[in-house]
Amino acid sequence: MVQPSPIPDPPESASACCPYRVRMEDGVTRRPVTTTESRRASRAWWDRDADAYQEEHGAFLGDVDFVWCPERLREADVHLLGDVAGKRVLEIGCGAASCSRWLATQGASVVAADLSSGMLRHAAAGNARSGVFVPLLQCDAAALPFADGTFDIVCTAFGAIPFVTDSARVMREVARVLRPGGRWAFSVTHPMRWVFLDDPGDGGLVAVHSYFDRTPYVEQDESGVPTYIEQHRTLGDRVRELVAAGFVLRDLIEPEWPADLEATWGQWSPLRGHIFPGTAIFVTDK
């Protein structure tokens, strides 16, 4: 078992390796977690945080738009999924499902899936607001309720992958539900960010953790029950789990920070974005 490593006190406004929150309190540690602990914590966390997440990021994400990352890379511009018209697409970890609705407007037949009913409530609201209705499904990305070869494309922008104990299993599930030749593309926090505190300012420029320490980041309550868990894998880990699941890596995109982008998203900021990557997007084919 990997032992938790002590982590230094971060600046008041920062949390360690926790991209979606900029907050640090007692009860934060690094320790191994079980799959059950992880699923429970993620579901409860995203249910509780859904309103705040949408309040903070909803305008940036839009109701009908596919934004891959805080660096504002749009699928409409980069076409990482290829021509989606007439394709069967599954979005996992869809959150409010704006990516799915955008795909539907491009002629895809889409299912938007997420573990959290709180996030799916926002997805339903987005459907109603936009008039673009995509089917919504509550499920764990590690156990997809679809037959083999159901989809032409599976995708996610920051969904599911950073929050599961066994991301290699998610890769295998995605491979199973994809047809041969199908595409799997996903964005995650760039693994090198694990080295730094999640401080968008100067404090986030100092290396404090080992890149090679995969021990999960865990926030827990007074009884030691995890309330938020995030997982780190190195770039090499990701490539190995993709290859083991039968994928061929077509591209690994590290979006550069746009010169005109002033917005800060959690730990993503112009200051850090101009120096090192914040997002990695893996584009693969089965």
Ligand X SMILES: C[S@@+](CC[C@H](N)C(=O)[O-])C[C@H]1O[C@@H](n2cnc3c(N)ncnc32)[C@H](O)[C@@H]1O
CB of residue 80 to ligand X, shortest distance in Å = 14
Distance CA 111, CA 94 (A): 9
| Contact with ligand X (CB under 6 A) among 14, 17, 24, 92 | 92
Site for ligand X in 154-183 (CB under 6 A): 156-160, 163-164
* For ligand X, the closer CB: 44 or 271: 44
- Answer whether 22's CB lies under 8 Å from 14's CB: yes
Q: What are φ and ψ of residue 65, in 5° steps? A: -165, 150
Does residue number 116 form part of the binding site for ligand X (CB under 6 A)? yes
| Contact with ligand X (CB under 6 A) among 18, 94, 110, 188 | 94
| Contact with ligand X (CB under 6 A) among 41, 75, 80, 93 | 93
CB of residue 199 to ligand X, shortest distance in Å = 19
Provide the token pair at 134: 């995509």
Going residue by residue from 50 to 89, which x/- string records binding to ligand X, judged by CB under 6 A? -----------x----------------------------
Distance CA 121, CA 129 (A): 12
Q: How many residues does the chain have?
A: 286
Distance CA 36, CA 41 (A): 8
> 30: part of which helix (H) or strand (E)?
strand 28-30
CB of residue 8 to ligand X, shortest distance in Å = 26
User: How many distinct helices (H) and strands (E) make up the chain?
Assistant: 7, 12
* For ligand X, the closer CB: 15 or 42: 42
Distance CA 99, CA 281 (A): 15
DSSP conformation class of 277: -
| Contact with ligand X (CB under 6 A) among 29, 42, 100, 189 | 42
List of residues contacting ligand X (CB under 6 A): 20, 42, 46, 61, 92-95, 114-116, 119, 140-142, 156-160, 163-164
